[in-house]
Amino acid sequence: MLRALTTVFTLALSTMVHAQTAPSASDIAGYSGLHLAAHEGSAKDVAALIAAGADPDARDRRGRTAAHVAAFASHDAVLEALAKGGADMNALEHGVYDVITIAAVADDPELVSLAIELGNRPDLITSVYDGTALIAAAHLGHHEVVARLVQVGAPLDHVNNLGWTAVMEAVVLGDGGPDHIETVRILAKAGADTSIPDRDGVTPLEHAVARGYDEIAQLLR
């Protein structure tokens, strides 16, 4: 078990290296056209630019489309205007993130639901860890986002390239507090397979017990 916990700690540190990257001050200073309109939240300008022939899927230096920029800035109306103008709602930027995963990490359930309504698939494989928006939300204990993704059929038992499911991430990367307890409760109630172990054969229940996460352990039993 000690070896397994050491492995988990090492992998947890690695997840911090490849976090999402919102547009920087220098990125924003260089924006024009759709990217600038998306960042500033001007749905009217977005619609006018697309009508004038702007490419709705043009990318910045980090592969972000205007939809990604709008998601980072939480501009719902801009996202709607982009979708109406033909933007690819399933585009992945260079960090392999889509709009839903950006919204999931930001704990923005309304934007998550809107993105799905506009065509963003909840089953996309995202991030350099080959994960999903559900795994990202479970990791952070964003249980309202988890609930919404579960409702629209996000894959409950997807295993990322770290060997973890959403349930596993909620345990090994969570703090055992109310948000992660509720996350595990939602996933278990939805029918997630709580017995899927990590690469060392350690189950979520065993990790919860080792960490003293008694309420989570009770849910997993």
Question: Is residue 7 in a domain?
Answer: yes
Q: Look at the block and give the residue holding tokens 């993704």.
A: 149
Question: Which residue's structure tokens are 């054969």?
Answer: 201
Q: Residue 156's CB: how many other CB atoms inside 10 A?
A: 20
Check if the beta carbon of residue 180 is closer than 8 Å to that of residue 174. Answer: yes
Tell me: do 142 and 63 sit in the same domain: no
Tell whether 139 and 181 lie within a shared domain: yes
* Residue located via tokens 């995202």: 126
Instruction: Using the 3D structure, point to which of 94, 111, 141 is the last residue of a domain.
Output: 94
62, 6: one domain: no
Q: Select from 157, 100, 87, 108 the least CA-distant residue to 126.
A: 100
My answer on whether 28 and 7 are in the same domain is no
Q: Is the domain of 52 the same as that of 139?
A: no
Q: Is residue 76 part of a domain?
A: yes
> Does 116 fall in a domain?
no
Q: Which two tokens stand for residue 87?
A: 């933007």
Pair (90, 164) in one structural domain: no
The end-to-end CA distance of the chain, in Å, is: 19
**Shared domain check, 211 and 195:** yes
Mind listing the pLDDT tens digit of every residue in the chain (221 residues)?
A: 545 555 554 455 444 445 789 999 999 999 999 999 999 999 999 999 999 999 999 999 999 999 999 999 999 999 999 999 999 999 999 999 999 999 999 999 999 999 999 999 999 999 999 999 999 999 999 999 999 999 999 999 999 999 999 999 999 999 999 999 999 999 999 999 999 999 999 999 999 999 999 999 999 99
Query: Can you give the residue range of the structural domain that contains 212?
Result: 1-20+121-221
Q: Are 196 and 159 within 8 A, CB to CB? A: yes
Are 129 and 143 part of one and the same domain?
A: yes
Residues 130 and 220 in one domain: yes
pLDDT (0 to 100) of residue 31: 98
Q: What is the CATH number of the domain that holds 157?
A: 1.25.40.20
Domain contains 204: yes
Is 29 a member of any domain?
A: yes
CB contact set of 75 (below 8 Å; sequence gap of 6+)? 38, 41, 43
Residues 14 and 84 in one domain: no
The pLDDT score that the predictor gives to residue 19 is: 74
- Is position 171 within any domain? yes
Question: Taking the model in full, what pTM does it have?
Answer: 0.91
In a shared domain, residues 197 and 159: yes
Does residue 153 share a domain with residue 71? no
Long-range contacts of 43-51 (CB under 8 A, 24+ apart): 43/75, 43/77, 43/78, 43/80, 43/81, 44/81, 46/78, 46/81, 46/82, 46/85, 47/81, 47/84, 47/85, 50/81, 50/82, 50/85, 50/86, 51/85
Distance from C-alpha of 187 to C-alpha of 182, rounded to nearest angstrom: 9
How many CB atoms are closer than 10 A to CB 147? 18
Residues 213 and 192: their CA atoms lie apart, in Å, by 19
The domain total for the chain is: 2
In this structure, is residue 66 part of a structural domain?
yes
Q: Give the pLDDT confidence score for residue 13 in this predicted structure.
A: 44
Whether 11 maps to a domain, the answer reads yes
DSSP 45-91: HHHHHHHTT--TT---TTS--HHHHHHHHT-HHHHHHHHHTT--TT-
